[in-house]
Amino acid sequence: MAEHLSQSELDYPFKLLEYINGFRVSQVIFSACDLGVFDLFLRSPTPLSAEAVARELGASEGGTERLLDVLAGFHILEVEVVEGKALYSGTDVSNLYLSKAGAKSLYDMIVYFSQTIYPLWGSLADAIRERKNEHETNIESEDLFKAAYRSDEEMLKFMGFMNSTWVIDGHDVVTAFDLSPFNTIIILGGCSGALAREVTREYPAATVTVLDSSAVLQAAREHFLQADDTIQFQEGDFCAGEIPPADLYVLPRIIHDWKEDMVVQLLQKIHGSCKPGGGILIVEALLFENKRGPVTTQIFSLNMLVQTGGQEHPPSHYCRMMATAGFHGVQVRRTGKCYDAILGIK
Ligand SMILES: C[S@@+](CC[C@H](N)C(=O)[O-])C[C@H]1O[C@@H](n2cnc3c(N)ncnc32)[C@H](O)[C@@H]1O
């Protein structure tokens, strides 16, 4: 018997059935977000019947009731049956994370998963067979962002998704190491500036600049700028163009997009621009060395195959690539959340 399976799992494969059913679990949450269920509960001062929810959302009562029941089964909503009538209400989790207006809303992430990632994953087996598909997976690195940003709408969705992650992981990754010795910090491929804002919040004395393409920065200025922003935006191309000098380069979710030879070239280029005593902070989800997880990161790695041709790595791979590029004293910190931090010094 496999040592990690109990006899009851072998007699009846609960976990296996749960995994097989996973796509339906995702769709329940995607659909509830799409319908506006969580925002309705956030706004409602009192519990609501399925009939009232259906009326507000312009949906069928029967379908709404079944959806609300599953969400209550997930403990994402509360339900109370009073004199035979079910009344539903939001929870801290649905209000905070799932409503569009929630303080830590993951709504944009959910929209991106539902509208972009979910259809792509229908081609997972083809991506593993190394067959190109209609979504241009396994594309060469230079075409990567042309494909990710195939329309303005798609680019905004992607940027919204990127933003959502740092709402929940940002503080942990920027405090994994003490970054206060670094005065000038450039976030390479910093997108809408979500992680840069976490850096300025934690290290207000630092000058923080986001470097990204002109199209992304234009969208960042139009859609993601905050009134109290102190971050600077600089248009640039870290592959084809110059990398400005700085004390610290932060690379959040950049390395995992590229194949290893491209990564080493980029790290060498950064090493050339980095001030002596400065450093590089790579922010990625780290695999375990023993290949036993974390499952979320293993799934991210498959996602990179489907979407970009890149992959996630264990710490030893990052240490090797950073050392090849000339960085020393490489330290790795796992945050316990999805994203971790690796610091190297010039
Ligand atoms: C996977 S996204 C990560 C975004 C952001 N760092 C985050 O984690 O939220 C990669 C980012 O790098 C930018 N990028 C890719 N290649 C680039 C290049 N050659 N020069 C500048 N930015 C680039 C993309 O526009 C995109 O914003």
Q: pLDDT for 13-45, tens place per residue?
A: 998 999 999 999 999 999 999 999 999 999 999
- 196-200-204 Cα angle (round to 5): 160
The helix (H) or strand (E) run that includes residue 345 is strand 340-345
The atom number, within ligand 1, closest to the CA of 189 reads: 12
Helix and strand numbers, DSSP H then E, in the chain: 17, 9
Q: Do residues 155 and 216 make contact, with C-beta atoms less than 8 angstroms apart?
A: yes
pLDDT in the model for residue 150: 72
* Closest atom of ligand 1 relative to the 187 alpha carbon: 6
pLDDT for residue 339: 98
Share of the chain above pLDDT 90, in %: 82
CA of 320 to the centre of ligand 1 (A): 22
Q: Is the CB of 190 under 6 A from ligand 1?
A: yes
Answer yes or no: is pLDDT of 228 > 90: no
pLDDT value of position 96: 96
Residue 81 has pLDDT above 60, yes or no: yes
Q: Is the CB of residue 212 below 6 angstroms from any atom belonging to ligand 1?
A: yes
Considering the candidates 256, 271, 313, 317, report the single residue annotated as catalytic: 256
The pair of three-digit structure tokens given for residue 86, joined into one six-digit string: 């079910």
Q: What is the pLDDT of residues 89-108, one digit of tens each?
A: 999 999 999 999 999 999 99
Would the CB of 279 count as within 6 Å of ligand 1? Answer: no
Give the atom of ligand 1 at the shortest distance from the alpha carbon of 215: 25
CA of 211 to the centre of ligand 1 (A): 8
Q: Residue 72: which of 41, 102, 101 has the closest Cα? A: 41
Contact 285, 314 (CB under 8 A): no
Distance 20 CA to ligand 1 centre (A): 33
In DSSP terms, 85 is beta-bridged to: 82
Helix (H) or strand (E) holding 283: strand 274-284
Check residues 229 and 233 and name the one with the higher pLDDT: 233
Burial class (CB in 10 A: 0-12, 13-18, 19+), 202: middle
Say whether pLDDT at 137 is over 50: no
Q: Is the CB of 281 under 6 A from ligand 1?
A: no
pLDDT digits (tens, 9 = 90+) for 264-287: 999 999 999 999 999 999 999 999
Residues in contact with 121: Cβ distance below 8 Å, sequence separation at least 6, in sequence order: 303, 306
pLDDT at 127: 87
pLDDT number for residue 141: 46
pLDDT per position as a tens digit, 307-323: 887 899 999 999 999 99
Q: What is the mean pLDDT of residues 237-252?
A: 96
The more confidently predicted of residues 235 and 138 is: 235
Rounded Cα–Cα distance for residues 47 and 227 (Å)? 35
Q: Which atom of ligand 1 is nearest to the CA of 163?
A: 9
* Residue 82: C-alpha distances to residues 40, 48, 49 (Å): 21, 12, 11
Judge if the beta carbon of residue 238 lies within 6 A of ligand 1.
Answer: yes
Residue 98, CA distances (Å) to 42, 43, 118, 236, 294 in order = 10, 13, 18, 34, 24
For residue 132, is pLDDT > 80?
A: no
- CA of 189 from ligand 1 middle (Å) equals 3
Give the chain's domains with CATH numbers. Answer: 7-98 (1.10.10.10), 107-345 (3.40.50.150)
Q: Quote the CA–CA distance of 166 and 175 in Å, as a whole number.
A: 13
Average pLDDT of span 55-68: 98
Q: How far is the CA of 210 from the centre of ligand 1 (A)?
A: 10
Is 219 touching ligand 1 by the criterion CB < 6 Å? no
Of all protein residues, the one whose alpha carbon is nearest to atom 23 of ligand 1 is 189
53 DSSP assignment? H
Residue % of the chain over a pLDDT of 70: 94
Tell the residue number behind the tokens 């269920």, with chain if given: 37
256 catalytic? Reply is: yes
Residue of the CA atom closest to atom 27 of ligand 1: 191
Contact by Cβ (8 Å): 87, 125: no
- Residue 259: which pLDDT band, with cuts at 50, 70 and 90? confident
